[in-house]
Amino acid sequence: MSACVMILPYLILGLLGPTFGHDVKGSSVCEFYNETMCTESQQECSGKEECGPHDPGKRNHCYVLWQIDNATKKSIIKLKGCFLDSNDCYDRPHCIENSAERKKELFFCCCDGNMCNQNFTWEPHPTSSSKPIQPSVIHELEPVPNTEQQIITLVLSISIPILLLAIIVPFLYWCYRRRKSGYFNEVWKAYVPTLEPLPLPQPSPNLGLRPIQLLEIKARGRFGAVWKAQLKNEIVAVKVFPIQDKQSWQTEQEIFKLAHMDHEDILRFIGVEKRGDNLQTEFWLITAYHEKGSLCDYLKANVVTWPEMCRIAESMARGLMHLHEEIPANKVHGYKPAVAHRDFKSKNVLLKADMSACIADFGLALIFHPGKPCGDTHGQVGTRRYMAPEVLEGAINFTRDSFLRIDMYACGLVLWELASRCTVQDGPIGEYRLPFEDEVGLHPTLEDMQESVVHKKERPIILETWRKHPRCARTRKCRVGSGRET
């Protein structure tokens, strides 16, 4: 009987036709702006934002959040970017706010279409407080009843429910008789595979708000800010996502909640929370806090010894290998699919107190579920500087192994950063440099990286002093012996 009930919504939708649902269009790229990111140290607060993937039947939209200065009457933009599926935004080619009420002096509009949020306006609808119309005018404008139209409406409103009942009731009775005779069960078993009972769900980590006190902001990025915070007697890290980056927050917690993700070389996950309401909503991701920060920031201010470099490199590679690994279920944990990071870089590798590394930031990660294709996932994601040649060239194969190899290319660049600040080399140690910084500078465009990596085939320089190191020389002999020296 329950199977029949499950089929009913589809039957009703089939009868009612295409009136229900939306024609999926939406926005794939929006103008981006974040006022909080416009600081002297970080100027990347505006540009274009590519909207993330969305569920089938839903859309992405563009939005603007702004404020009007009471003194100058000028608009002050607060936020621009991609917005999650909302009925209020459907089929609106222009970003227009129609509300007559001004809450906290903030205005919000959303629209449907690429870059439709470049321009925005406030056109309030007249409210009930507007000047009332004279009674005589109302009397003169009263419409003449259309008797024929009313009759048609009445007939339709009565006949459609009766028609639905005439179809649904016999269908339910047929289901009941077939189930009673055992026939329905046999047919159902023949077409629907038997499913193993699912394990009981684990307790949700976001039940109730934790007593968290935000202490100090440690970093800002495209997907929000990272805070040092206190949770009872423990210092934790809180990554705060604004409402437009909810998809990244959902992706991160989905990765962390996979089986076997409690690993020493993966950032420890504590929980998630939703704070605030409406446009003030924030999504929190709570993890372990590591005082040394990211590998990138650490190398800017410090050099590393040979043992420290080996410890960092080994734990980093071990964490990435665990992420990539497909692990079968056992008596304690369930199945873990392979995962590609897709934004691997020294900023997303954190250093623990013992100088071992752990991998963080899974907002762009991709899970490879068995038997499911990767689909039309956008290949050119992540940080341009760390993109593999095939990604820059747009020649990526959307297979699991292709995505995992892209991570390994980025890992090689991070190892180069690490080696460039190691004390074992002869002579003075140079200042910290990002990969390809000498070739393309600090803020390369996609075209800059394509020219350098794809067309000129440039790679980070391996210094001669590195080659002369005993362990490096031993590795080089192995590569020559295997015919892989280039």
The amino acid that residue 72 corresponds to is T
pLDDT digits (tens, 9 = 90+) for 454-479: 999 999 988 887 877 776 655 555 44
For 38-47, 154-163, 326-335, which range has the lowest pLDDT when averaged over its residues? 38-47
* pLDDT score recorded for residue 375: 56
Which tens digits make up the pLDDT trace of 400-431?
A: 999 999 999 999 999 999 999 999 887 788 89
Quote the CA–CA distance of 334 and 371 in Å, as a whole number: 17
d(CA 25, CA 275): 30
Q: Flag whether pLDDT at 76 surpasses 50.
A: yes
DSSP code of 452? I
pLDDT score at 478: 43
Of the given ranges (180-184, 292-296, 395-399), which has the lowest mean pLDDT?
180-184
d(CA 188, CA 402): 40
% of residues, the chain, pLDDT over 70: 73
Using DSSP's 3-state secondary structure scheme, residue 70 falls into coil
Specify the higher pLDDT residue, 129 or 334: 334
Low-confidence winner among 9-18, 143-152, 271-280, 426-435 (lowest mean pLDDT): 9-18
Residue 334: exposed, middle, or buried by beta-carbon count in 10 A (0-12, 13-18, 19+)? middle
Gap between the Cα atoms of 481 and 474, Å rounded: 11
137-188 per-position pLDDT tens digit: 333 334 444 555 566 666 677 777 787 777 877 777 666 665 544 444 443 3
Q: Region 9-28: what's the mean pLDDT?
A: 49
Closest by CA to 359, choosing from 376, 372, 342, is 342
Q: Which amino acid is at 336?
A: K
In percent, the amount of the chain with pLDDT more than 90 equals 45
Model-level pTM?
0.58
Q: Residue 237, SS3?
A: strand
Q: Can you tell me which residue has the tokens 């393309």? A: 440
Question: How wide is the angle at C-alpha 312 spanned by C-alphas 410 and 464, nearest 5°?
Answer: 70
Query: Is 343 annotated as catalytic?
Result: yes
Where residue 25 falls among pLDDT bands split at 50, 70, 90?
A: low
pLDDT, tens digit (0-9, with 9 covering 90-100), for 88-120:
888 889 999 887 666 556 788 999 999 999 999
Contact 96, 121 (CB under 8 A): yes
Q: Which of 112, 343, 361, 407 is catalytic?
A: 343
> How far apart are the C-alpha atoms of 288 and 337, rounded to whole Å?
24
